[in-house]
């Protein structure tokens, strides 16, 4: 919390043009509205441009087109602080955000309460917290961090610099790439939901003998689940970002850089392309394919393959409940209405 950096250092890291004193100290990030002395803000969205003049930020990351107005304005109405000019101020803010992250620095070493199988390979400079369990033949990459109570199953691998939060469960035979971030409560490699009907109404479990392979630079949110494959692996590409409560079923394939917001889910054996964006609760049924560059709007269910990039929706619009009652009942009459309309047109 007491970290501080000079504007000069920040400008150099961001490769930004600095208008202001490079010796000025910056001790935090904040919004234009809330930033005060010693804090750095950013202007990334046109709709907040009017907040610039009144901002008390020590410095602001902004694009050239907003830099003139404030410099020109007088002290009463204009922004008079320092500026860092970038073509993409939002990206600049994102890039500098790690410098101000208050997350405690992990202490390298293995906590004495952790249970590490002697056959596991533990890389240099790892930080393994209390009550962690690492099973036989697991491989933990250098600089990895394992939060308290996390478990790494037999033969599983974590790439260099992976950050596993507290109480994460990783089953056996899972491979996770470098710099992965996995949040608490996430479960990777539980059994896919596979059962065969026996014929008498009961179910025969299909043991899930595949694994999970996750690329580099992936983030997985709290309480999200990625199931192991039935036969062969479930696969998550590089740079995929996954929010909380997401479900990836067995043998799903997710392409590089696809983003999935909370509760989005993909059922078994579906394949999702690269650079797709799933809004919250966007779900996909099993055994379909979605091509690259598809956006699925919030709460929409994809029930068949999508072969062309684009934006897709399936959301009931919100109404006051009394209006909804009147209209909803008509949905079950729609086919009849369509036929009657056609009949009238024929007359």
Active-site entry in 66, 183, 245, 250: 250
Distance CA 166, CA 256 (A): 26
151 binds a second copy (CB under 8 A): yes
303 binds a second copy (CB under 8 A): yes
30 binds a second copy (CB under 8 A): yes
Of the candidate spans 53-61, 62-70, 76-84, 300-308, the one that interacts with a second copy by CB under 8 A turns out to be 300-308
91 binds a second copy (CB under 8 A): yes
93 binds a second copy (CB under 8 A): yes
239 binds a second copy (CB under 8 A): yes
Structure tokens that stand for 337 in this block: 């209405």
108 binds a second copy (CB under 8 A): no
Site for a second copy in 38-57 (CB under 8 A): none
Q: Helix, strand, or coil here: 71?
A: helix
Sequence-ordered list of residues with C-beta below 8 angstroms from that of 324, at least 6 positions apart, any chain: none
Site for a second copy in 61-80 (CB under 8 A): none
Q: Is 245 a catalytic residue?
A: no
- The closest of 247, 257, 248, 193 to 219, measured between CA atoms, is 257
User: Which CB, 142 or 206, lies closer to a second copy?
Assistant: 206
- Judged by CB under 8 A, the residue of 81, 129, 161, 273 near a second copy is 129
127 binds a second copy (CB under 8 A): no
Using CA atoms, how far residue 205 sits from 58, 193, 270, in Å, is: 61, 9, 21
Torsion of CA 316, 319, 322, 327, to 10 degrees: -40
119 binds a second copy (CB under 8 A): no
Site for a second copy in 210-229 (CB under 8 A): 217, 219, 221-223, 225, 227
User: Which CB, 68 or 199, lies closer to a second copy?
Assistant: 199
29 binds a second copy (CB under 8 A): yes
Strands ordered across the beta sheet of 174-176: 121-122, 139-140, 157-158, 174-176, 212-214, 234-236, 253-254, 271-272, 289-290
**Number of residues near a second copy (by CB under 8 A):** 135
9 binds a second copy (CB under 8 A): no
Q: Is the dihedral of CA 18, 26, 164, 220 positive or negative?
A: negative
Distance in angstroms between the alpha carbons of the first and the last residue of the chain: 77
Active site amino acids? 250
């Amino acid at each position: 919390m007491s970290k501080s950096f000079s504007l000069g250092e920040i400008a150099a890291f961001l490769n930004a043009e600095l208008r202001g004193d490079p010796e000025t100290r910056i001790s935090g990030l904040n919004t234009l509205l809330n930033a005060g002395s010693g804090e750095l803000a950013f202007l990334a969205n046109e709709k907040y441009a009017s907040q610039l003049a009144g901002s008390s930020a020590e410095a602001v990351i902004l694009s050239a087109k907003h830099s003139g107005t404030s410099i020109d304005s007088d002290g009463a109405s204009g922004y008079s602080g320092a500026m860092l000019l970038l073509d993409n101020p939002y990206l600049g803010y994102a890039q500098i955000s790690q410098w101000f992250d208050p997350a405690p620095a992990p202490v390298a070493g293995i906590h004495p309460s952790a249970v590490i199988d002697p056959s596991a390979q533990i890389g240099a400079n790892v930080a393994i917290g209390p009550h962690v369990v690492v099973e036989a033949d697991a491989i933990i990459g250098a600089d990895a961090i394992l939060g308290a109570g996390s478990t790494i199953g037999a033969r599983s691998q974590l790439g260099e610099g992976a950050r596993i939060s507290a109480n994460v469960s990783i089953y056996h035979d899972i491979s996770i790439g470098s710099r992965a971030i996995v949040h608490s409560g996430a479960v990777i490699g539980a059994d896919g939901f596979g059962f065969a009907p026996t014929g008498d109404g009961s179910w025969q479990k299909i043991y899930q003998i595949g694994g999970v392979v996750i690329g580099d630079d992936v983030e997985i949110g709290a309480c999200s689940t990625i199931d192991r494959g039935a036969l062969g692996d479930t696969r998550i590409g590089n740079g995929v970002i996954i929010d909380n409560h997401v479900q990836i079923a067995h043998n799903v394939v997710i392409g590089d850089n696809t983003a999935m917001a909370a509760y989005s889910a993909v059922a078994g054996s579906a394949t999702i392309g690269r650079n797709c964006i799933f809004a919250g609760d966007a779900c996909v049924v099993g055994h379909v394919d979605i091509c690259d560059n598809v956006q699925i709007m919030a709460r929409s269910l994809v029930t068949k393959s999508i072969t062309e990039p684009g934006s897709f929706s399936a959301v009931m619009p919100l109404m006051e409940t009394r209006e909804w009652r009147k209209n909803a009942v008509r949905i079950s009459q729609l086919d009849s209405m369509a036929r009657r309309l056609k009949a009238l047109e024929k007359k």
